Amino acid sequence: MERLKASDFPPEVLRLFDGYVHGTKTRREFLDEAAKFAAGGMTAAVMLQSLQPNFAWAQQVKKDDPRIKTESIDYDSPQGHGKMRGYFAKPANATGKLPGVYVVHENRGLNPYIEDVVRRLALLNFVAFAPDALFPVGGYPGDEDKGRDLFAKQDTKKRIEDLVTGTSVLKAHPDCTGKIGTVGFCFGGGIVNLLATRLPDLAAGVAYYGVQPAASDVSKIKAAIMIQNASDDPRINDGWPAYEEALKANKVRYEHHSYPKTQHGFHNDTTPRYDDAAAKLSWQRTVDFFNKHLR
């Protein structure tokens, strides 16, 4: 399939798609409403298909790259769903312990894009671990729509405990120094913000276009925080002013970056919403932030 950009779609369709992937629009509602903007061969169905991820575009680090070592790690989650699994990567030539980065996926499980982010971090001399919140229901199903459906049916409180517990798995890993940060995207960005309120020993958190925590919980944040937002993302951006006010009031160390002319999901290089310049700049800022606060 030809690789399209966000600018190839009417802005209204991009907003409809954001609603679809976040559960406020059904597939039928997307198709019916997007049909108003169909033109030429771009029917509503074609637009929906074109906006879906193509994981062949995204693999920056191959699964069998000899420069890294990867493995699946199972862990117990007694306050959550009981049993969990995640994807771990480290540099193949590591001689000592390294700082850890905990990677949290979007609202459809541990897909190939997030696994690739884990491998990218390993190449940058971190140990990285990403849990699969869908493991208790069979794991990421290989289909984004099915993944979202499974995700929506999960017990939210148990899922949060599964993800909180996973940080301790990385922190205690024999290859980790015990100093960890976390990065997450979309749902995962919201989890980064939540983890910062739950984990007093978290060193740094980078939240990509994630929902904000309750202002009353911001006083619990001890980590340094980086917020990476898209300019055209009202669902997330509307909550930023109150979060920033709470961060300032509680003297939390934070950075905020908003990338012009970008959509929610701009870092995800599997979809047309990807923005190459913003993705690369935000990632460099993320890596620099972790090097500063974790080493």
180 and 69 part of one domain: yes
- How much is the pLDDT for 41? 83
% of residues, the chain, pLDDT over 70: 99
For strand 98-104 and strand 127-131, is the pairing parallel, antiparallel, or unpaired? Answer: parallel
% of residues, the chain, pLDDT over 90: 92
Q: Tokens standing for 125?
A: 């001399």
137 and 245 part of one domain: yes
Which tens digits make up the pLDDT trace of 212-256?
Answer: 999 999 999 999 999 999 999 999 999 999 999 999 999 999 999
- How much is the pLDDT for 59? 85
**Residues ≥6 apart with Cβ < 8 Å to 131:** 84, 85, 86, 104, 110, 162, 163, 166
- How much is the pLDDT for 2? 66
74 and 11 part of one domain: no
Question: At 94, which helix (H) or strand (E)?
Answer: none
89 and 202 part of one domain: yes
Query: Using CA atoms, how far apart are residues 209 and 265, in angstroms rounded to an integer?
Result: 7
Number of domain units in the chain: 2
Q: The domain that contains 200 carries what CATH number?
A: 3.40.50.1820
Please report whether residue 124 resides in a domain.
yes
pLDDT band per the 50, 70, 90 thresholds, residue 57: confident
Query: Using CA atoms, how far apart are residues 81 and 147, in angstroms rounded to an integer?
Result: 17
Provide mean pLDDT across the span 108-118: 97
176 and 189 part of one domain: yes
201 and 280 part of one domain: yes
User: How many Å separate Cα 14 from the centre of its chain?
Assistant: 19
* Bridge partner list, 230: 259
Highest-confidence segment of 20-34, 43-57, 169-183: 169-183
**Three-state DSSP string of 141-167:** CCCHHHHHHHHHCCCHHHHHHHHHHHH
Please report whether residue 232 resides in a domain.
yes
Provide mean pLDDT across the span 173-194: 98
Q: Tokens standing for 151?
A: 């995700």
38 and 140 part of one domain: no
214 and 142 part of one domain: yes
| Whether 99 contacts 290, CB under 8 Å | yes
- How much is the pLDDT for 42? 87
- How much is the pLDDT for 40? 81
Biggest CA-to-CA distance, the chain = 59
pLDDT at position 133 over 80: yes
Domain around 215:
55-294
Indicate the pTM of the whole model: 0.94
63 and 184 part of one domain: yes
**Residues ≥6 apart with Cβ < 8 Å to 162:** 77, 80, 81, 84, 131, 133, 136
Torsion sign over Cα 264, 163, 202, 222: positive
- How much is the pLDDT for 1? 53
State the CB neighbour count (10 A cutoff) for residue 11: 12
**Residue bearing the bigger pLDDT, 245 or 22:** 245
Q: Which of 190, 196, 274, 193 is nearest to 22 (CA)?
A: 190
Query: Using CA atoms, how far apart are residues 258 and 154, in angstroms rounded to an integer?
Result: 31
180 and 222 part of one domain: yes
225 and 104 part of one domain: yes
188 and 47 part of one domain: no
Which tens digits make up the pLDDT trace of 260-274?
Answer: 999 999 999 999 999
Provide mean pLDDT across the span 178-185: 98
Please report whether residue 186 resides in a domain.
yes
Please report whether residue 1 resides in a domain.
no
Provide mean pLDDT across the span 6-26: 92
- How much is the pLDDT for 55? 83
